[in-house]
Amino acid sequence: MPRNRTISDQDVLDRALLVVRASGPDALTFGALAPRVGLAPSTIVQRFGTKAALLQAALSRAWDRLDDETATAVEHAPVGPAGVIEMLVELSGQYDPDDFADQLLLLREDLRDPVLRARGNAWLATLTQAIEHRLAGAAGDPAGLGELVVTQWQGTLTVWGFTRRTPLVRAVRSALEDLFARLGLDPGPAAGSR
């Protein structure tokens, strides 16, 4: 009879993410993770096979969380440019100002691994579609605007990482309001805003 697992794979992966976020992807080893989860390194090997598979599983878990956060933000975002701004401001909450640079190490792994890169592409497709759906009434044919808005948002996050002149949320809101104003779209209050 198989033994019951005292710690789930999801809990192992959550703790693996803590190691990766604190010390980078190269620091994630079975030996480094074992004391954090209370399992022998050999037990973790049995569950995940290789260090690369463990890292991929941990980063996939992070994508699962981002997908859930995105679904929630999309669900709550009203129609219109202001709704798009609120949605992206809400998603900006995932970025910790104190470890923003460390998160770029995770992005490197996402770009290098085809499975993780595919997750990123799927997330971008979901997000751009949600943005274009919210801009349909305000922008006529919003095709392509979703990617432009995401690019502005992600660029703002990168620039903010260097400058940090204002709080992150304020920087994101201001940059997106400016973008919409320059596109001739009123970034005022969203229809049915929360």
Amino acid at 108: R
- pLDDT value, residue 194: 41
Overall number of domains in the chain: 1
Does the pLDDT at position 60 exceed 70?
yes
Residue 109 lies in a domain: yes
Structural domain for 86, as ranges: 59-182
CB 176 within 8 A of CB 84: yes
Residue 40 lies in a domain: no
Residue 68 lies in a domain: yes
Residue 14 lies in a domain: no
CB 32 within 8 A of CB 19: yes
Does the pLDDT at position 63 exceed 80?
yes
| CA pair distance 162, 151, nearest whole angstrom | 17
Residue 4 lies in a domain: no
How much is the mean pLDDT over the chain?
Answer: 89
50 falls in which pLDDT band (50, 70, 90)?
very high
**What is the pTM (predicted TM-score) of this model?**
0.86
Residue 187 lies in a domain: no
Q: The domain spanning residue 89 has which CATH number?
A: 1.10.357
Average pLDDT over residues 166-186: 93
Residue 33 lies in a domain: no
Alpha helices in 77-188 (DSSP H): 81-92, 100-112, 114-139, 145-163, 168-182
Can you read off the two tokens belonging to residue 30? Answer: 């079975």
Residue 67 lies in a domain: yes
Q: Which residue, 27, 8, 187, is CA-closest to 109?
A: 27
Q: Which residues does 61 contact at the CB level (< 8 Å), separation at least 6?
A: 10, 13, 14, 16, 17
* Residue-wise pLDDT tens digits, 91-144: 998 776 666 666 777 888 999 999 999 999 999 999 999 999 999 876 667 788
